Each structure stands twice: as C-alpha cells, then as structure tokens.
Amino acid sequence: MIYHRRPSWHIPEALATDESTFFNRRQLLATMGLGGAASALIAQRAHAATKPGDEYLPTPERNDVYKAGDEREITDEEIASTYNNFYEFGSHKQISKKAQKLDTDNWMVKIDGEVEKDIEIEAADLTAKMPVEERVTRFRCVEAWSMVVPWICYPLAELVKFAKPTNDAKYVRFETFLDPKIARGQKQSWYPWPYVEGMTIKEAMNPVALMVVGVYGKVLPKQYGAPMRLHIPWKYGFKSSKSITRISFTKERPVSFWQEVSKDEYGFWANVNPEVRHPRWSQAEERVLGTTERIPTQKFNGYGEEVAGLYSDTLAKKEGVWLWR
Ligand SMILES: Nc1nc2c(c(=O)[nH]1)N[C@H]1C(S)=C(S)[C@@H](COP(=O)(O)O)O[C@H]1N2
Ligand SMILES: [Mo]
C-alpha cells in the first residue's frame, strides 16, 4: 500500500470516523471522571478498536511544528513495515511475520523507581490520557539507513509528568517485555535480555522526544514495537525501545542493552553525528530506505535547534566521544 503525502484520511474527525465510533468517543468524553459501570463499558468498546494494524480512530491531527523537511519523501509503508530491527524476533530485518506472535492484549506497563507512587496501568488506558497527534519525522539507524515516517504519538514529556518523578530522579530507564517462548531471539543467551534503554529526564522532557502508539494512520503494528515504543529522533534508532513494559526513574545512569553488548560501538548518549565514525563504518552519509539514494547525515539528525541545548560544552568535554556514539 502506498502512503500519500496528503492522506485521504486526513479530513475532519466527524467525517473520517464512522458515526458509531465518533458517538462513542463523545460519550466517553462526556462520562469521563464519572467512574462506574457505564464508563467501564465504554472503555471496553474503545479497546476493541485498538488491534495492531487497525485504522487509528479518531484520526489524530498532524503536528506540523516538527517537520521532516520538505525535501524528504515519506518512506513507502510496505518497505518500512517489512524492514525492521527487533532482535527479540531475530537478528535480521525480516521479522515482521514472526513479530505477529506478540500478544498485545491487556498490555500492562509498570512505572516505578523514584516516583511519588508506583503505577501499574494498561497501555491503552495510559494512551487515552495522552495528547495523541501525528508527527512526520526523520529516523536514522546507527547502521546508516534512514526513513521518514508518519508516527502517531505523544510527547514523552507528558508521560514523565504523569509519572510524577521525585527530585532524586535523574534518568528514565525503559524495559521491553521478556518472553522467550514467543520471542525466540530471547533464547540467544549471549544477549543481555530484556532490551533496556535509558536517557536523562531532561532529554525525555524535550518536546522532540516521543512515545509512539501508531504509524501510517494505523494502531502500531507489532513489528514496530506494539503497543508502545519510543522514538527519539535526534538519537540513533537503537535508543528507541520497542514494546515497553516498564518505565523506571533512577538516580543512576542505566546501562543499555547495546552498551552491554559492545560499549565501544554503542554508547549511552548515541546522538546522531556525521563527524564521529562508528568504529566499523562512517556515519557521514545515510542510505534512504526504499531508494538507491545516499544523502549526508545531519548533526542531531537535523533536530539541533531543538536539542543542542541539552548538551553543554562541559558535558561534551567530560563525556567526549560518548556523546556521539
Ligand atoms: N526491544 C527492541 N527495541 C528496539 C530494537 C530491538 O531489537 N528490540 N531495535 C532498535 C533499532 S536498532 C532500531 S533501528 C529501531 C527500528 O525500528 P523499526 O523496526 O520500527 O524501524 O528499533 C529499535 N528498538
Ligand atoms: Mo538501529
């Protein structure tokens, strides 16, 4: 299926949404805060329409403040959906079929650590509290391929606010599910499962940092890391953890999955920088997925205006190359 730049579904909510869904949403908003059986029933109905790959309804508004750049075409949906990194299902790109084994029904997320109070919440209920929108962004993998994707997402900062971290919290750690029976890649014991990533709270609060719940107008398909995954556009793709089950606020810097695999190749910061080589290849250019084109990579993947302020000269001096790997 080809995704057009001006999607046909990008029309006002009442027109794009079938009447009953629209009506239920109005009802849901009207009864919010009432609690009890009626709102539980409506919440249940809302869940029924959120299977990975279903059309995402109601259609979220596109936020055009953060653009991928007019010169960049949106990557063909078919290509982006069949070329994935998700090591839980294999250490190659063709995992989209295997990932369908993932059971995302009633997916629970735990929020803990340096927070006012631990929270356990169903992913769908968490999303329902968040300001969901569409953003078209650049995505740059450390392996030097890139794509431009219309994510359905909300600012990670909103999740941080919802979690109410204490003053002691300095970092956020994201943990992915662990289920080797379903995810056969997790039987490969030389990897430090489960997949873990992390960043500073300041980074997580930057308005460019996103939690993703859909893509190409659909509820997030499983191979993309359903039901919720990160997208940190100015960092290499491996920072964007998939299928998250636990979010912990910590005093200490978390050690990420890829740092544990090879700290010389995959650092904690992993900010996109064309001037700092990966030990085995140059990061100066990137291959545009679905084309034969190679284009120059931009510092911070082109989001420097928004994020460069996170990294002072003192921090760069202290961390050196690690800010960039
Ligand atoms: N849990 C988990 N998250 C992950 C990965 C993974 O193997 N497991 N791979 C990362 C890497 S290296 C990339 S490039 C992106 C790929 O996202 P995509 O398949 O949606 O393009 O997911 C990231 N998140
Ligand atoms: Mo990646």
What does the pLDDT look like over 145-195, one tens digit per residue? 999 999 999 999 999 999 999 999 999 999 999 999 999 999 999 999 999
Q: Is 186 in the pocket of ligand 1 (CB under 6 A)?
A: no
DSSP string, 248-272: EEESSPPPPHHHHH-TTTS-SS-B-
In which domain, by residue range, is 237 found? 13-319
Q: Is 176 in the pocket of ligand 1 (CB under 6 A)?
A: yes
Q: Contact 269/323 with Cβ under 8 angstroms?
A: yes
Place of tokens 């003053």: 167
Residue 177 falls inside a structural domain: yes
Mutation pick for ligand 1 pocket among 84, 91, 236, 242 (CB with most ligand atoms within 8 Å)? 242
Q: Are strands 145-155 and 133-140 parallel, antiparallel or unpaired?
A: antiparallel
Q: How many domains does the chain have?
A: 1
Q: Is 52 in the pocket of ligand 1 (CB under 6 A)?
A: no
pLDDT of residue 252: 98
Q: Residue with the nearest Cα to atom 8 of ligand 1? A: 86
Phi, psi of 150 (to 5 degrees): -85, 95
pLDDT of residue 302: 96
Residue 42 falls inside a structural domain: yes
Asked if residue 227 has a cis previous peptide bond (ω within 30° of 0), the answer is yes
pLDDT of residue 50: 81
Q: Is 269 in the pocket of ligand 1 (CB under 6 A)?
A: no
Strand locations in 85-194 (E): 108-113, 119-122, 133-140, 145-155, 171-176
Place of tokens 């992390």: 198
Dihedral class, residue 300 (left if φ above 0, else alpha if ψ from -120 to 50, else beta):
left
pTM: 0.87
Residue 2 falls inside a structural domain: no
Residues of the chain with pLDDT under 70: 1-49
Residue 238 falls inside a structural domain: yes
Place of tokens 């650092």: 267
Q: Is 240 in the pocket of ligand 1 (CB under 6 A)?
A: yes
Distance 51 CA to ligand 2 centre (A): 26
pLDDT of residue 93: 97
Residue 196 falls inside a structural domain: yes
pLDDT of residue 33: 52
Minimum-distance ligand to the CA of 86? 1
Q: Is 224 in the pocket of ligand 1 (CB under 6 A)?
A: yes
Task: Name the residue among 307, 1, 7, 18 with its Cα closest to residue 150.
Answer: 7
Residue 325 falls inside a structural domain: no
The SS3 of residue 237 is helix
Which residues have a Cβ under 8 Å from the Cβ of 188 and sit 6 or more positions away? 91
The pair of structure tokens assigned to 127 is 């999303």
Q: Which atom of ligand 1 is nearest to the CA of 243?
A: 1
Place of tokens 């259609």: 59
Q: Contact 203/268 with Cβ under 8 angstroms?
A: no
3-state secondary structure 303-324: CHHHHHHHCCHHHHHHHHHHHC
Phi, psi of 294 (to 5 degrees): -120, 130
Residue 1 falls inside a structural domain: no
Distance 67 CA to ligand 2 centre (A): 21
CATH of the domain at 231: 3.90.420.10
CA angle 205, 211, 217 (to 5 degrees): 140
Residue 305 falls inside a structural domain: yes
Q: Residue with the nearest Cα to atom 12 of ligand 1? A: 238
Distance 63 CA to ligand 2 centre (A): 25
Q: How far apart are CA 83 and CA 223, in angstroms?
A: 9
Distance 244 CA to ligand 2 centre (A): 17
